A and B are shown apart, each in its own frame.
Chain A
Protein backbone atom coordinates (compact mmCIF):
# COMPACT_ATOMS: atom_id res chain seq x y z
CA UNK A 1 0.00 0.00 0.00
CA UNK A 2 1.51 3.32 -1.05
CA UNK A 3 1.38 6.41 1.14
CA UNK A 4 -0.71 9.51 0.51
CA UNK A 5 2.24 11.71 -0.49
CA UNK A 6 3.54 9.15 -2.93
CA UNK A 7 0.07 8.62 -4.46
CA UNK A 8 -0.36 12.38 -4.81
CA UNK A 9 3.02 12.74 -6.52
CA UNK A 10 2.29 9.81 -8.84
CA UNK A 11 -1.07 11.27 -9.84
CA UNK A 12 0.50 14.61 -10.66
CA UNK A 13 3.25 13.04 -12.73
CA UNK A 14 0.77 10.78 -14.56
CA UNK A 15 -1.55 13.58 -15.64
CA UNK A 16 1.31 15.75 -16.96
CA UNK A 17 2.99 12.75 -18.59
CA UNK A 18 -0.21 11.92 -20.47
CA UNK A 19 -0.35 15.47 -21.75
CA UNK A 20 3.12 15.04 -23.22
CA UNK A 21 2.35 11.52 -24.53
CA UNK A 22 -0.61 12.91 -26.48
CA UNK A 23 1.41 15.85 -27.78
CA UNK A 24 4.21 13.51 -28.90
CA UNK A 25 1.69 11.15 -30.55
CA UNK A 26 0.40 14.17 -32.42
CA UNK A 27 3.96 14.90 -33.62
CA UNK A 28 4.51 11.33 -34.90
CA UNK A 29 1.16 11.18 -36.73
CA UNK A 30 1.61 14.68 -38.11
CA UNK A 31 5.07 13.75 -39.43
CA UNK A 32 3.58 10.61 -41.00
CA UNK A 33 0.90 12.74 -42.71
CA UNK A 34 3.55 14.26 -45.01
CA UNK A 35 3.87 10.85 -46.75
CA UNK A 36 0.27 10.53 -48.05
CA UNK A 37 0.01 14.35 -48.15
CA UNK A 38 2.88 14.47 -50.67
CA UNK A 39 2.19 11.14 -52.43
CA UNK A 40 -1.23 12.39 -53.55
CA UNK A 41 0.51 14.92 -55.85
CA UNK A 42 2.29 12.11 -57.69
CA UNK A 43 -0.77 10.10 -58.74
CA UNK A 44 -3.56 10.75 -61.25
CA UNK A 45 -5.08 13.22 -61.92
CA UNK A 46 -2.54 15.53 -60.20
CA UNK A 47 0.62 14.00 -61.71
CA UNK A 48 -0.35 15.15 -65.21
CA UNK A 49 -1.39 18.68 -64.24
CA UNK A 50 0.38 21.74 -65.55
CA UNK A 51 1.47 23.61 -62.43
CA UNK A 52 2.61 26.62 -64.41
CA UNK A 53 -1.11 27.31 -64.64
CA UNK A 54 -1.87 28.90 -61.25
CA UNK A 55 -5.62 28.42 -61.56
CA UNK A 56 -5.25 24.69 -62.18
CA UNK A 57 -2.88 24.36 -59.26
CA UNK A 58 -5.11 26.22 -56.81
CA UNK A 59 -8.03 24.05 -57.93
CA UNK A 60 -5.99 20.90 -57.33
CA UNK A 61 -4.96 22.07 -53.84
CA UNK A 62 -8.56 23.01 -52.99
CA UNK A 63 -9.96 19.65 -54.14
CA UNK A 64 -7.25 17.71 -52.28
CA UNK A 65 -7.85 19.71 -49.08
CA UNK A 66 -11.62 19.34 -49.36
CA UNK A 67 -11.48 15.57 -49.94
CA UNK A 68 -8.92 15.22 -47.13
CA UNK A 69 -11.23 17.02 -44.73
CA UNK A 70 -14.09 14.67 -45.73
CA UNK A 71 -11.76 11.71 -45.06
CA UNK A 72 -10.78 13.19 -41.66
CA UNK A 73 -14.44 13.63 -40.74
CA UNK A 74 -15.26 10.01 -41.69
CA UNK A 75 -12.29 8.78 -39.63
CA UNK A 76 -13.40 10.89 -36.65
CA UNK A 77 -17.01 9.70 -36.84
CA UNK A 78 -15.72 6.09 -36.81
CA UNK A 79 -13.42 7.09 -33.90
CA UNK A 80 -16.36 8.50 -31.91
CA UNK A 81 -18.37 5.35 -32.61
CA UNK A 82 -15.54 3.19 -31.24
CA UNK A 83 -15.18 5.44 -28.19
CA UNK A 84 -18.97 5.41 -27.60
CA UNK A 85 -19.16 9.21 -27.91
CA UNK A 86 -21.64 9.78 -30.75
CA UNK A 87 -24.29 10.90 -28.24
CA UNK A 88 -21.82 13.39 -26.80
CA UNK A 89 -21.16 14.70 -30.34
CA UNK A 90 -24.90 15.25 -30.84
CA UNK A 91 -25.24 17.05 -27.51
CA UNK A 92 -22.24 19.28 -28.22
CA UNK A 93 -23.26 20.21 -31.78
CA UNK A 94 -26.73 21.18 -30.57
CA UNK A 95 -25.28 23.96 -28.41
CA UNK A 96 -24.17 26.07 -31.37
CA UNK A 97 -24.62 29.61 -30.10
CA UNK A 98 -22.65 29.01 -26.90
CA UNK A 99 -20.28 26.15 -27.67
CA UNK A 100 -19.83 24.58 -31.12
CA UNK A 101 -19.58 28.01 -32.78
CA UNK A 102 -16.00 28.18 -31.46
CA UNK A 103 -15.14 25.02 -33.38
CA UNK A 104 -16.74 26.50 -36.50
CA UNK A 105 -14.52 29.55 -36.07
CA UNK A 106 -11.40 27.43 -35.39
CA UNK A 107 -12.14 25.45 -38.58
CA UNK A 108 -11.80 28.58 -40.74
CA UNK A 109 -8.21 29.02 -39.55
CA UNK A 110 -7.30 25.31 -39.44
CA UNK A 111 -8.83 24.31 -42.78
CA UNK A 112 -9.14 26.84 -45.60
CA UNK A 113 -6.20 28.77 -44.10
CA UNK A 114 -3.69 26.28 -42.61
CA UNK A 115 -4.34 22.95 -44.33
CA UNK A 116 -4.96 24.53 -47.74
CA UNK A 117 -1.84 26.67 -47.23
CA UNK A 118 0.16 23.58 -46.36
CA UNK A 119 -0.92 21.78 -49.54
CA UNK A 120 0.01 24.91 -51.53
CA UNK A 121 3.44 24.91 -49.87
CA UNK A 122 3.97 21.20 -50.60
CA UNK A 123 2.93 21.55 -54.23
CA UNK A 124 4.67 24.85 -55.10
CA UNK A 125 7.84 24.63 -53.04
CA UNK A 126 8.14 21.16 -51.45
CA UNK A 127 7.22 19.05 -48.40
CA UNK A 128 10.33 20.00 -46.42
CA UNK A 129 9.55 23.70 -46.80
CA UNK A 130 5.91 23.06 -45.91
CA UNK A 131 7.02 21.33 -42.71
CA UNK A 132 9.42 24.09 -41.59
CA UNK A 133 7.11 26.96 -42.40
CA UNK A 134 4.41 25.55 -40.16
CA UNK A 135 6.96 25.03 -37.35
CA UNK A 136 6.45 28.63 -36.32
CA UNK A 137 2.87 27.97 -35.29
CA UNK A 138 3.60 27.43 -31.53
CA UNK A 139 4.74 31.04 -31.27
CA UNK A 140 1.38 32.25 -32.57
CA UNK A 141 -0.52 29.76 -30.36
CA UNK A 142 1.45 30.43 -27.17
CA UNK A 143 1.17 34.21 -27.61
CA UNK A 144 -2.59 34.08 -28.12
CA UNK A 145 -3.03 31.60 -25.23
CA UNK A 146 -1.13 34.03 -23.00
CA UNK A 147 -3.28 36.99 -24.13
CA UNK A 148 -6.67 35.26 -24.18
CA UNK A 149 -6.43 32.66 -21.40
CA UNK A 150 -3.66 34.03 -19.19
CA UNK A 151 -1.93 30.71 -19.70
CA UNK A 152 1.24 30.52 -17.68
CA UNK A 153 4.31 30.32 -19.90
CA UNK A 154 7.29 29.91 -17.59
CA UNK A 155 10.72 31.15 -18.57
CA UNK A 156 11.79 27.52 -19.02
CA UNK A 157 8.82 26.79 -21.31
CA UNK A 158 9.51 29.94 -23.34
CA UNK A 159 13.16 28.94 -23.79
CA UNK A 160 12.00 25.42 -24.78
CA UNK A 161 9.68 26.87 -27.43
CA UNK A 162 12.49 29.04 -28.84
CA UNK A 163 14.97 26.14 -28.89
CA UNK A 164 12.48 23.89 -30.71
CA UNK A 165 11.75 26.55 -33.29
CA UNK A 166 15.45 27.30 -33.84
CA UNK A 167 16.00 23.55 -34.21
CA UNK A 168 13.29 23.47 -36.86
CA UNK A 169 14.92 26.33 -38.72
CA UNK A 170 18.33 24.61 -38.53
CA UNK A 171 16.82 21.39 -39.89
CA UNK A 172 15.09 22.93 -42.82
CA UNK A 173 16.90 26.11 -43.88
CA UNK A 174 19.14 24.45 -46.53
CA UNK A 175 16.17 22.39 -47.68
CA UNK A 176 14.15 25.55 -48.24
CA UNK A 177 17.04 27.05 -50.20
CA UNK A 178 17.50 24.05 -52.49
CA UNK A 179 13.78 23.54 -52.97
CA UNK A 180 13.08 27.21 -53.59
CA UNK A 181 15.81 27.44 -56.23
CA UNK A 182 13.79 25.06 -58.39
CA UNK A 183 10.36 26.37 -57.50
CA UNK A 184 9.89 28.78 -60.41
CA UNK A 185 8.08 32.11 -60.73
CA UNK A 186 5.05 31.10 -58.71
CA UNK A 187 7.03 30.06 -55.65
CA UNK A 188 5.59 33.02 -53.73
CA UNK A 189 2.24 31.19 -53.66
CA UNK A 190 3.95 28.32 -51.86
CA UNK A 191 5.62 30.71 -49.42
CA UNK A 192 2.30 32.43 -48.76
CA UNK A 193 0.85 28.94 -48.17
CA UNK A 194 3.57 28.21 -45.62
CA UNK A 195 2.78 31.43 -43.74
CA UNK A 196 -0.94 30.61 -43.86
CA UNK A 197 -0.19 27.20 -42.29
CA UNK A 198 1.80 28.67 -39.37
CA UNK A 199 -0.70 31.44 -38.72
CA UNK A 200 -3.79 29.26 -39.20
CA UNK A 201 -2.72 26.39 -36.94
CA UNK A 202 -1.54 28.78 -34.23
CA UNK A 203 -4.83 30.69 -34.19
CA UNK A 204 -6.88 27.51 -34.47
CA UNK A 205 -5.33 26.00 -31.35
CA UNK A 206 -5.93 29.15 -29.34
CA UNK A 207 -9.59 29.49 -30.44
CA UNK A 208 -10.33 25.79 -29.96
CA UNK A 209 -8.89 26.05 -26.43
CA UNK A 210 -11.91 28.12 -25.39
CA UNK A 211 -14.43 25.46 -26.42
CA UNK A 212 -12.20 22.61 -25.23
CA UNK A 213 -12.49 23.99 -21.69
CA UNK A 214 -16.10 22.87 -21.58
CA UNK A 215 -16.34 20.03 -24.12
CA UNK A 216 -14.77 16.67 -24.90
CA UNK A 217 -11.62 16.79 -27.08
CA UNK A 218 -12.64 13.82 -29.31
CA UNK A 219 -16.00 15.45 -29.88
CA UNK A 220 -14.50 18.92 -30.28
CA UNK A 221 -12.21 17.92 -33.11
CA UNK A 222 -15.09 16.16 -34.89
CA UNK A 223 -17.18 19.32 -34.57
CA UNK A 224 -14.28 21.33 -35.99
CA UNK A 225 -13.98 19.03 -39.05
CA UNK A 226 -17.76 18.97 -39.51
CA UNK A 227 -17.48 22.74 -39.92
CA UNK A 228 -14.55 22.44 -42.32
CA UNK A 229 -16.39 19.93 -44.54
CA UNK A 230 -19.40 22.29 -44.63
CA UNK A 231 -17.13 25.19 -45.69
CA UNK A 232 -15.49 23.20 -48.48
CA UNK A 233 -18.49 21.32 -49.86
CA UNK A 234 -21.17 23.97 -49.53
CA UNK A 235 -19.30 27.27 -49.83
CA UNK A 236 -15.77 27.17 -51.29
CA UNK A 237 -16.02 24.48 -53.99
CA UNK A 238 -19.45 25.68 -55.25
CA UNK A 239 -18.07 29.26 -55.31
CA UNK A 240 -15.05 28.07 -57.33
CA UNK A 241 -17.44 26.41 -59.80
CA UNK A 242 -20.05 29.12 -60.19
CA UNK A 243 -18.03 32.32 -59.77
CA UNK A 244 -14.69 31.31 -61.30
CA UNK A 245 -15.88 28.60 -63.73
CA UNK A 246 -13.34 26.09 -62.42
CA UNK A 247 -13.81 22.40 -63.41
CA UNK A 248 -14.31 21.31 -59.79
CA UNK A 249 -16.62 18.33 -60.37
CA UNK A 250 -14.36 16.97 -63.15
CA UNK A 251 -11.33 17.13 -60.82
CA UNK A 252 -13.24 15.50 -57.97
CA UNK A 253 -14.47 12.69 -60.23
CA UNK A 254 -10.95 12.16 -61.62
CA UNK A 255 -9.65 11.85 -58.03
CA UNK A 256 -11.88 8.82 -57.51
CA UNK A 257 -9.20 6.33 -58.59
CA UNK A 258 -7.69 3.64 -56.36
CA UNK A 259 -4.35 5.19 -55.37
CA UNK A 260 -5.62 8.74 -55.02
CA UNK A 261 -8.32 7.41 -52.68
CA UNK A 262 -5.77 5.39 -50.69
CA UNK A 263 -3.62 8.50 -50.09
CA UNK A 264 -6.63 10.68 -49.31
CA UNK A 265 -7.88 8.06 -46.83
CA UNK A 266 -4.46 7.70 -45.16
CA UNK A 267 -4.02 11.47 -45.04
CA UNK A 268 -7.43 11.58 -43.33
CA UNK A 269 -6.45 8.85 -40.87
CA UNK A 270 -3.07 10.30 -39.90
CA UNK A 271 -4.28 13.89 -39.80
CA UNK A 272 -7.53 13.10 -37.97
CA UNK A 273 -5.75 11.17 -35.21
CA UNK A 274 -2.94 13.71 -35.00
CA UNK A 275 -5.59 16.32 -34.30
CA UNK A 276 -7.27 14.09 -31.69
CA UNK A 277 -3.95 13.74 -29.87
CA UNK A 278 -3.25 17.49 -30.23
CA UNK A 279 -6.61 18.49 -28.72
CA UNK A 280 -6.26 15.95 -25.89
CA UNK A 281 -2.90 17.40 -24.89
CA UNK A 282 -4.04 21.05 -24.62
CA UNK A 283 -6.04 20.88 -21.39
CA UNK A 284 -3.36 18.77 -19.66
CA UNK A 285 -0.25 20.80 -20.45
CA UNK A 286 -1.60 24.00 -22.04
CA UNK A 287 -1.89 25.20 -25.62
CA UNK A 288 1.67 26.62 -25.63
CA UNK A 289 3.39 23.40 -24.51
CA UNK A 290 1.03 21.15 -26.51
CA UNK A 291 1.82 23.05 -29.67
CA UNK A 292 5.55 23.16 -28.98
CA UNK A 293 5.88 19.40 -28.43
CA UNK A 294 3.55 18.85 -31.40
CA UNK A 295 6.06 20.88 -33.41
CA UNK A 296 8.47 17.95 -33.15
CA UNK A 297 6.47 16.68 -36.13
CA UNK A 298 9.19 18.39 -38.19
CA UNK A 299 11.74 15.83 -36.97
CA UNK A 300 9.41 12.94 -37.74
CA UNK A 301 8.50 14.38 -41.14
CA UNK A 302 12.20 14.49 -42.10
CA UNK A 303 12.80 10.95 -40.81
CA UNK A 304 9.80 9.52 -42.67
CA UNK A 305 10.56 11.42 -45.90
CA UNK A 306 14.17 10.17 -45.75
CA UNK A 307 13.20 6.56 -45.10
CA UNK A 308 10.29 6.21 -47.48
CA UNK A 309 10.96 8.80 -50.19
CA UNK A 310 14.79 9.00 -50.11
CA UNK A 311 14.61 12.75 -49.60
CA UNK A 312 17.60 13.47 -47.39
CA UNK A 313 18.29 16.70 -45.55
CA UNK A 314 21.85 17.95 -45.09
CA UNK A 315 24.13 17.43 -42.10
CA UNK A 316 22.53 20.37 -40.35
CA UNK A 317 19.69 17.94 -39.70
CA UNK A 318 21.70 16.51 -36.79
CA UNK A 319 22.06 19.98 -35.26
CA UNK A 320 18.38 20.70 -35.78
CA UNK A 321 17.39 17.33 -34.38
CA UNK A 322 19.51 17.92 -31.28
CA UNK A 323 18.01 21.40 -30.78
CA UNK A 324 14.42 20.21 -31.25
CA UNK A 325 14.86 17.29 -28.88
CA UNK A 326 16.65 19.53 -26.35
CA UNK A 327 13.80 22.05 -26.49
CA UNK A 328 11.23 19.31 -25.96
CA UNK A 329 13.35 17.91 -23.12
CA UNK A 330 13.51 21.35 -21.47
CA UNK A 331 9.73 21.48 -21.42
CA UNK A 332 9.09 17.85 -20.49
CA UNK A 333 11.46 17.98 -17.51
CA UNK A 334 9.71 21.03 -16.08
CA UNK A 335 8.52 20.40 -12.53
CA UNK A 336 5.12 18.73 -12.85
CA UNK A 337 3.80 20.92 -10.02
CA UNK A 338 4.36 23.92 -12.30
CA UNK A 339 2.56 22.29 -15.23
CA UNK A 340 -0.24 20.55 -13.37
CA UNK A 341 -2.50 23.60 -13.46
CA UNK A 342 -1.72 25.57 -16.59
CA UNK A 343 -3.77 28.69 -15.88
CA UNK A 344 -4.72 31.12 -13.17
CA UNK A 345 -7.86 29.63 -11.56
CA UNK A 346 -8.93 32.99 -10.14
CA UNK A 347 -9.12 34.70 -13.48
CA UNK A 348 -12.87 35.21 -13.57
CA UNK A 349 -15.45 37.72 -12.47
CA UNK A 350 -18.72 35.87 -12.95
CA UNK A 351 -20.50 34.91 -9.75
CA UNK A 352 -20.78 31.28 -8.79
CA UNK A 353 -23.95 29.65 -10.17
CA UNK A 354 -26.20 28.69 -7.29
CA UNK A 355 -28.31 25.92 -8.72
CA UNK A 356 -27.91 22.87 -10.88
CA UNK A 357 -30.33 21.69 -13.53
CA UNK A 358 -32.19 18.63 -12.38
CA UNK A 359 -32.89 15.43 -14.29
CA UNK A 360 -33.70 15.95 -17.97
CA UNK A 361 -34.97 13.76 -20.77
CA UNK A 362 -32.45 12.67 -23.38
CA UNK A 363 -33.04 15.62 -25.72
CA UNK A 364 -32.49 18.15 -22.95
CA UNK A 365 -29.30 16.56 -21.63
CA UNK A 366 -26.22 18.68 -21.97
CA UNK A 367 -22.73 17.47 -22.89
CA UNK A 368 -20.82 15.63 -20.17
CA UNK A 369 -18.22 18.26 -19.32
CA UNK A 370 -20.98 20.85 -18.96
CA UNK A 371 -22.89 18.46 -16.70
CA UNK A 372 -19.81 17.91 -14.51
CA UNK A 373 -19.20 21.67 -14.20
CA UNK A 374 -22.84 22.27 -13.30
CA UNK A 375 -22.74 19.50 -10.71
CA UNK A 376 -19.61 20.93 -9.07
CA UNK A 377 -21.04 24.45 -9.25
CA UNK A 378 -24.22 23.33 -7.53
CA UNK A 379 -22.45 21.93 -4.50
CA UNK A 380 -21.55 24.62 -1.97
CA UNK A 381 -18.89 22.55 -0.16
CA UNK A 382 -17.47 20.66 -3.14
CA UNK A 383 -17.95 17.20 -4.61
CA UNK A 384 -15.74 14.10 -4.50
CA UNK A 385 -14.69 12.68 -7.86
CA UNK A 386 -16.46 9.38 -7.15
CA UNK A 387 -19.68 11.28 -6.40
CA UNK A 388 -19.35 13.09 -9.72
CA UNK A 389 -18.65 9.78 -11.49
CA UNK A 390 -21.82 8.28 -9.97
CA UNK A 391 -23.91 11.27 -11.15
CA UNK A 392 -22.45 11.10 -14.67
CA UNK A 393 -23.02 7.36 -14.97
CA UNK A 394 -26.62 7.80 -13.81
CA UNK A 395 -27.28 10.77 -16.12
CA UNK A 396 -25.96 9.14 -19.30
CA UNK A 397 -26.34 5.44 -18.49
CA UNK A 398 -22.57 4.84 -18.77
CA UNK A 399 -21.13 1.65 -17.29
CA UNK A 400 -17.79 -0.16 -17.02
CA UNK A 401 -14.11 0.60 -16.41
CA UNK A 402 -13.77 2.55 -19.66
CA UNK A 403 -16.27 5.21 -18.59
CA UNK A 404 -14.79 5.40 -15.08
CA UNK A 405 -11.50 6.21 -16.79
CA UNK A 406 -13.10 8.72 -19.16
CA UNK A 407 -14.73 10.54 -16.24
CA UNK A 408 -11.39 10.64 -14.39
CA UNK A 409 -9.73 11.96 -17.55
CA UNK A 410 -12.41 14.66 -17.83
CA UNK A 411 -11.85 15.73 -14.21
CA UNK A 412 -8.08 15.80 -14.70
CA UNK A 413 -8.61 17.93 -17.79
CA UNK A 414 -10.91 20.39 -15.95
CA UNK A 415 -8.47 20.56 -13.01
CA UNK A 416 -5.44 21.17 -15.27
CA UNK A 417 -7.40 23.87 -17.09
CA UNK A 418 -8.12 25.52 -13.69
CA UNK A 419 -11.90 25.33 -14.11
CA UNK A 420 -12.16 23.31 -10.90
CA UNK A 421 -9.80 23.22 -7.95
CA UNK A 422 -8.94 20.60 -5.39
CA UNK A 423 -10.28 21.06 -1.86
CA UNK A 424 -9.27 17.80 -0.27
CA UNK A 425 -7.85 14.42 -1.23
CA UNK A 426 -7.85 10.87 0.00
CA UNK A 427 -6.49 7.49 -0.97
CA UNK A 428 -8.74 5.01 -2.79
CA UNK A 429 -8.76 1.63 -1.03
CA UNK A 430 -10.21 0.07 -4.18
CA UNK A 431 -13.83 1.02 -3.41
CA UNK A 432 -14.19 3.57 -6.21
CA UNK A 433 -11.62 3.57 -9.04
CA UNK A 434 -8.64 1.39 -8.11
CA UNK A 435 -6.47 0.67 -5.13
CA UNK A 436 -3.87 3.40 -4.53
CA UNK A 437 -5.50 6.01 -6.79
CA UNK A 438 -5.97 9.53 -5.48
CA UNK A 439 -9.54 10.61 -4.76
CA UNK A 440 -10.16 14.34 -4.99
CA UNK A 441 -12.83 16.70 -3.80
CA UNK A 442 -13.39 19.60 -6.20
CA UNK A 443 -15.08 22.95 -6.24
CA UNK A 444 -15.62 25.42 -9.06
CA UNK A 445 -13.04 28.19 -9.57
CA UNK A 446 -13.94 31.76 -10.61
CA UNK A 447 -12.54 30.87 -14.06
CA UNK A 448 -14.84 27.83 -14.19
CA UNK A 449 -17.80 30.00 -13.19
CA UNK A 450 -16.91 32.43 -15.95
CA UNK A 451 -16.71 29.63 -18.55
CA UNK A 452 -20.08 28.27 -17.34
CA UNK A 453 -21.63 31.70 -17.83
CA UNK A 454 -19.97 32.18 -21.24
CA UNK A 455 -21.30 28.88 -22.52
CA UNK A 456 -24.84 29.39 -21.28
CA UNK A 457 -24.64 26.76 -18.55
CA UNK A 458 -24.87 28.98 -15.50
Chain B
Protein backbone atom coordinates (compact mmCIF):
# COMPACT_ATOMS: atom_id res chain seq x y z
CA UNK B 1 0.00 0.00 0.00
CA UNK B 2 1.04 3.65 -0.29
CA UNK B 3 3.57 5.41 1.95
CA UNK B 4 0.76 7.23 3.76
CA UNK B 5 -0.07 4.31 6.06
CA UNK B 6 1.91 3.74 9.24
CA UNK B 7 2.10 -0.06 9.23
CA UNK B 8 1.16 -3.09 7.16
CA UNK B 9 -2.56 -3.65 7.16
CA UNK B 10 -3.37 -0.16 8.54
CA UNK B 11 -5.43 0.61 5.45
CA UNK B 12 -7.52 -2.55 5.93
CA UNK B 13 -8.17 -1.76 9.59
CA UNK B 14 -9.11 1.82 8.64
CA UNK B 15 -11.58 0.49 6.05
CA UNK B 16 -13.08 -1.86 8.67
CA UNK B 17 -13.33 0.94 11.23
CA UNK B 18 -15.19 3.27 8.88
CA UNK B 19 -17.58 0.49 7.86
CA UNK B 20 -18.30 -0.33 11.53
CA UNK B 21 -18.88 3.37 12.33
CA UNK B 22 -21.28 3.60 9.40
CA UNK B 23 -23.13 0.51 10.61
CA UNK B 24 -23.45 2.02 14.10
CA UNK B 25 -24.77 5.25 12.64
CA UNK B 26 -27.40 3.36 10.65
CA UNK B 27 -28.48 1.40 13.73
CA UNK B 28 -28.90 4.65 15.70
CA UNK B 29 -30.89 6.26 12.88
CA UNK B 30 -33.31 3.33 12.79
CA UNK B 31 -33.87 3.19 16.54
CA UNK B 32 -33.36 6.62 18.11
CA UNK B 33 -36.92 7.84 17.57
CA UNK B 34 -38.40 5.02 19.62
CA UNK B 35 -35.83 5.62 22.37
CA UNK B 36 -36.68 9.31 22.71
Q: Which A positions have Cβ atoms within 8 angstroms of B?
A: 11, 14-15, 18, 21-22, 25, 28-29, 32, 35-36, 38-39, 41-43, 47, 79, 82-83, 218, 259, 262, 266, 269-270, 273, 276-277, 280, 304, 307-311, 401-402, 404-409, 412, 433-434
The distance in angstroms between the C-alpha atoms of A14 and B6, with both chains bound, is: 40
Pair A38/B29 contact, Cβ less than 8 Å: no
Say whether chain B's binding surface is mostly helix, strand, loop, or mixed: helix
- B21 contacts A29, C-beta separation under 8 Å: yes
Give chain B residues whose Cβ lies under 8 Å from the Cβ of A11. 36
Total chain B interface residues with beta-carbon distance under 8 A: 29
30 A-B pairs within 8 Å (CB atoms) are namely: A14-B35, A18-B35, A18-B36, A21-B28, A25-B25, A25-B28, A29-B21, A35-B18, A36-B18, A38-B4, A42-B2, A47-B2, A82-B26, A259-B2, A266-B15, A270-B18, A273-B22, A276-B25, A276-B29, A277-B25, A280-B29, A307-B6, A307-B10, A308-B13, A309-B6, A309-B10, A402-B33, A406-B33, A408-B33, A409-B36
Contact A401 B34 (CB under 8 A): yes
Question: Are B34 and A270 touching (Cβ within 8 A)?
Answer: no
B18 adjacent to A269 (CB under 8 Å): yes
Are A405 and B21 in contact, with the CB atoms below 8 A?
A: no
Q: Do A310 and B18 contact each other (CB < 8 Å), given the known contacts A18-B32, A409-B36?
A: no
Contact A39 B33 (CB under 8 A): no
Q: Which 6 A-B pairs have the closest CB atoms?
A: A405-B33, A310-B6, A405-B34, A42-B2, A409-B33, A42-B4
A60 to B10, CA, bound (A): 25
Cα of A35 to Cα of B33 in the assembled complex, Å:
31
CB distance from A27 to the nearest CB of B (A): 11
Q: Main SS of chain A's interface residues? A: helix
- Give B residues with C-beta under 8 Å from A: 1-7, 10-11, 13-15, 17-19, 21-22, 24-26, 28-36
Expressed in whole angstroms, the Cα–Cα distance for A412 and B35 within the complex equals 12
Contact of B5 among A21, A308, A406, A407 (CB under 8 A): A308
A270, B22: Cβ atoms closer than 8 Å: yes
Contact of B26 among A15, A32, A79, A407 (CB under 8 A): A79
